[in-house]
Amino acid sequence: MNPTADLSIAHLITQASALVQIIMALLTLLSLTSWYWIFRKSFQLRAARSFADRFERDFWSGGDLGNLYDSVRSARHGIGAMERIFEAGYREFSKMRGKNHDASAIIDGSRRAMRATYQREVDDLEAHTPFLATVGSVSPYIGLLGTVWGIMNSFRGLSGMSTATLSQVAPGIAEALVATAIGLFAAIPAFVAYNRFTHDIDRLAIRFESFMEEFSNILQRHLR
């Protein structure tokens, strides 16, 4: 270690100890994976909101529910969560009404079908968000482990010297701190994205639940 030591990030990473390099590689992998799911989840939630907006316009336009159900069934691969909830509820409603069940049983059956579909849709929206929460909470500690280990190695290397200057200590400490920097780089976007996605999913879930209640009331009026 000398006053002219190369303190560039690339040099610090290549000169770090094997364990610190493994930790850096792990954090980099976690960061890349979390960014992949951040983009995937952003597109998924944007599409879910777009599908919900489109279906609500069609649903509240005053058209016939049977025709709407047929159009949803024919476009099965181009529909969103709210359409699938509607499809499940109306399909069960039509099936039970054809068997002459009483009104309360028909509505309860339709609600159960919608609730099951609703749960599947929300579970799909929430998929992989726990991974982002894990990356956001664990990455700083993984980076800190690399930093502590690197600093220990740095001071261990100085133990045989009678005197130590800042120029001798700085490169080793800088190598160790890179691990903490990478850990924070992985954690911050993942944690921010997790909070944002959780908020968006909660709002969508509320919209789905409100729709199920309103649709159940409409089906009740149809039975009357």
93-132 residue pLDDT tens:
988 887 777 888 889 999 999 999 999 999 999 999 999 9
* Least-confidence region, from 34-43, 110-119, 127-136, 147-156: 147-156
Mean pLDDT of 191-209: 96
One-letter identity of residue 207: R
Helices marked H in 60-80 — which ranges? Answer: 65-74
Tell me: pLDDT of 4 over 60. Answer: no
The predicted pLDDT at position 3 comes to 46
Token pair 């597109």 in the structure block, residue: 43
Contact 1, 167 (CB under 8 A): yes
The predicted pLDDT at position 2 comes to 47
Q: What is the mean pLDDT of the chain?
A: 86
The predicted pLDDT at position 176 comes to 75
Tokens read off for 160: 């045989």
Mean pLDDT of 134-155: 86
Tell me: pLDDT of 212 over 60. Answer: yes
For residue 165, what is the DSSP state?
A: -
The predicted pLDDT at position 1 comes to 44
* Least-confidence region, from 5-9, 130-134, 137-141, 205-209: 5-9
The predicted pLDDT at position 75 comes to 80
Taking only the tens place, the pLDDT of each residue in 164-195 is 555 666 666 777 788 888 899 999 999 999 99
Helices marked H in 16-165 — which ranges? Answer: 18-59, 65-74, 81-97, 103-126, 129-158
Angstrom distance (rounded) from CA 210 to CA 206: 6
Q: Shortest CA distance to 85 belongs to which of 124, 130, 37?
A: 124
pTM above 0.85, yes or no: no
Angstrom distance (rounded) from CA 50 to CA 52: 5
Token pair 């009678």 in the structure block, residue: 162
Mean pLDDT of 58-63: 87
Angstrom distance (rounded) from CA 165 to CA 118: 65
One-letter identity of residue 170: A
Between 14 and 87, the more confident residue is 87
130-147: buried (b, 16+ CB within 10 Å) or exposed (e) per residue?
eebbebbebbbebbbbbb
